[in-house]
Structure 1
Amino acid sequence: MLLVLSPAKSLDYESPLPAVTPSEPLFVDDAAELIGVLRTLAPQQVAELMDLSDTLAALNVARYQAWQREFTPDNSRPAIYAFNGDVYEGLDVRSLAPADVQWLQAHVAILSGLYGVLRPLDRMQPYRLEMGTRLLTSRGRNLYQFWGARLARYLDSRAAQDDGVIVNLASEEYFKAVDRRALTARVVQCVFEERRGAGYKVISFAAKRARGLMTRWAALQRVQRVPDLQGFDLEGYRFAPGVSDADRLVFRRDAAAGAAA
């Protein structure tokens, strides 16, 4: 199976890297085309386009200008070690063994507004370009139109190498970029809920962390089949069969379990 994640806005290009062999990103020509468009924008335009502060807009304008087609140890690092948000804190890749990281490389795809799809060890230069951005390009009015069916075809090819299943652990904003009309693989959605009052609801930051935890657990368990995912039990989560179905797996926990974690 292929697990699909969203990227993170926060990046870490300072922490020491373990000894890993990076891979090269697959959609460099597409990324270069987007960079060409982004380089035409002034800082104020970038700020308005992505609702950024002036400081963040200036930082990312500088990143666009510095971006190069050649990826080197000096200008890039493997994506799984560069992303630094809630999902990646849950994944905690630095505490995994090299064999676990190789499992991730074979079974995980990270969607990206700039790079399309990244494997965990693909080199990545720093950027900010969320998938929902309404960036006008020669291919359309936004990034969904820019990427079209490319991402679906790629994910299909990856899933077909195994059991033909995609486990969606990405946000709605990012998985929307996968053209479901062009996708033939089976998609299984994982949902993470907490008890709040008399019921359960999705708490955004907790659900993001849980997606990383699920990815970590899958790597440690060497998960091979969808039913195996039901055993996920990190940080108080348990599979809830009464509210799940074959393609929508719901995991629940008490709020107290989340606080303890």
Structure 2
Amino acid sequence: MFLLISPAKTFATKAKVPRDLTMTSPRFLEEARTIMASVLRLSREELASMLQLSPKLRDEVYARLRTFFDPEVTEMPAALSYTGMVFRKLSPSTFTAEDWAYAAEHLHITSFVYGLLSPETAIRYDRMEGAVQLPDLFDGRLFDYWRDRLTPYLIEAVKRAGGTLLFLASDEMRGLFHWAEVERAVRVITPSFLVRQPTGRLKQIVVYTKMARGAMAGEVIRQRLEDEEALRMLTPEGFVFAPEESTDRDWTFVLG
């Protein structure tokens, strides 16, 4: 079982890194440096427009991105760097050494700067959007820049982990890959997390979905789950598998 999750827009300023954790270098480090060199040629206003930032966030994000090449900046493991809801529920700060080792082979985080990251990969602040265009780098969006690079890498990683991809990332992250090619090469399972309304209608509530994705990823790692039946038995954040709402590849978990 191989898991894919999205990054968060919020990033820690420091993290307690386990003493026995060996951080690794990003697989696509040269690409990341090339992207950031291009990004840093943008003005504050250009960056704010591309990332749709408020004036307050504009200054903060601009300043933090400009530390990317600063040798004094302390790098942190990817899983401990992001602070969004998915990562709170993933709770990598509670991983054992064995959990970290398993996660290194079975979990990746998407990134518009770094491409794909293992949980223990050392990174720097990398807030970016896939629709950003950097004409001096590539004729297209970052989605397009990464697609040829990441597709074969992801397929091989999934095959090494048993051939099944549990897609717990946001829908837009499919744009980083030739998704039809991924689906032909490996089995893809995409869980949805829906809340039953008083009317009986099922509705997605974004924050609950993020919580459930992180919790499910954490359980798979801690329990070393490889069996699909065991996966269906999970109840992340109270969501329960609903066979009547599910298909072979699109699984629905319902709360309420």
Q: Which moved more, 1:131-140 or 1:101-110?
A: 131-140
Equivalent residue number for residue 46 of structure 2: 45
CA deviation string 1:70-124 (max 9, x = no partner):
7x8x431000000100101111111232211221111001000100000000001
Counterparts of residues 126-165 of structure 1 (less than 5 Å): 126-165=125-164
CA deviation string 1:232-260 (max 9, x = no partner):
11321111111112111111111xxxxxx
Q: 1:16 and 2:16 equivalent?
A: yes
* Preserved contact between residue 233 and residue 241 of structure 2 (Cα < 8 Å): yes
Counterparts of residues 112-123 of structure 1 (less than 5 Å): 112-123=111-122
Unpaired segments of 5 or more residues in structure 1? 255-261
* Preserved contact between residue 28 and residue 115 of structure 1 (Cα < 8 Å): yes
Equivalent residue number for residue 188 of structure 1: 189
- The one-letter code matched in structure 2 to 1:151 is L
Q: 1:97 and 2:96 equivalent?
A: yes
Give secondary structure in 2 for the equivalent of 1:250.
strand
Deviation, structure 1 residue 199: 1.4
Deviation, structure 1 residue 15: 3.6
| Matches of 2:84 and 2:12, distance apart in 1 | 10
Deviation, structure 1 residue 135: 4.0
Equivalent residue number for residue 7 of structure 2: 7
- The one-letter code matched in structure 2 to 1:212 is G
Deviation, structure 1 residue 137: 4.7
Equivalent residue number for residue 84 of structure 1: 83
Give secondary structure in 1 for the equivalent of 2:179.
coil
Deviation, structure 1 residue 187: 1.3
* Preserved contact between residue 91 and residue 215 of structure 1 (Cα < 8 Å): yes
Aligned-pair identity (%): 26
Equivalent residue number for residue 257 of structure 1: none
- The one-letter code matched in structure 2 to 1:106 is E
Normalised TM-score (structure 2): 0.92
Evaluate the alpha carbon distance shift between residue 160 and residue 214 of structure 1 in structure 2; reply closer, same or farther with a 3 A threshold.
same
Give secondary structure in 1 for the equivalent of 2:237.
helix
2:237 maps to which of 235, 252, 256: 235
Normalised TM-score (structure 1): 0.90
Q: Which moved more, 1:168-177 or 1:117-126?
A: 168-177
CA deviation string 1:127-170 (max 9, x = no partner):
21022334445332211111122111111010111321111100
Query: Displaced runs of 4+ in structure 1, greater than 6 A?
Result: none
Deviation, structure 1 residue 69: 9.0
Deviation, structure 1 residue 66: 2.2
Q: Which moved more, 1:99-108 or 1:78-87?
A: 99-108
* Preserved contact between residue 11 and residue 126 of structure 1 (Cα < 8 Å): yes
Equivalent residue number for residue 28 of structure 1: 29
* Preserved contact between residue 191 and residue 249 of structure 1 (Cα < 8 Å): yes
* Preserved contact between residue 105 and residue 161 of structure 2 (Cα < 8 Å): no
| Matches of 2:250 and 2:196, distance apart in 1 | 19
Q: Which moved more, 1:158-167 or 1:54-63?
A: 54-63
Q: Which moved more, 1:120-129 or 1:136-145?
A: 136-145
| Matches of 2:52 and 2:219, distance apart in 1 | 35
- The one-letter code matched in structure 2 to 1:242 is E
Give secondary structure in 1 for the equivalent of 2:80.
helix
Deviation, structure 1 residue 218: 0.6
Evaluate the alpha carbon distance shift between residue 137 and residue 247 of structure 1 in structure 2; reply closer, same or farther with a 3 A threshold.
farther
* Preserved contact between residue 100 and residue 219 of structure 1 (Cα < 8 Å): yes
Unpaired segments of 5 or more residues in structure 2? none
CA deviation string 1:175-215 (max 9, x = no partner):
22121243222211111111122211111111011100000
Q: Which moved more, 1:132-141 or 1:52-61?
A: 132-141
Give secondary structure in 2 for the equivalent of 1:188.
strand
Equivalent residue number for residue 250 of structure 1: 252
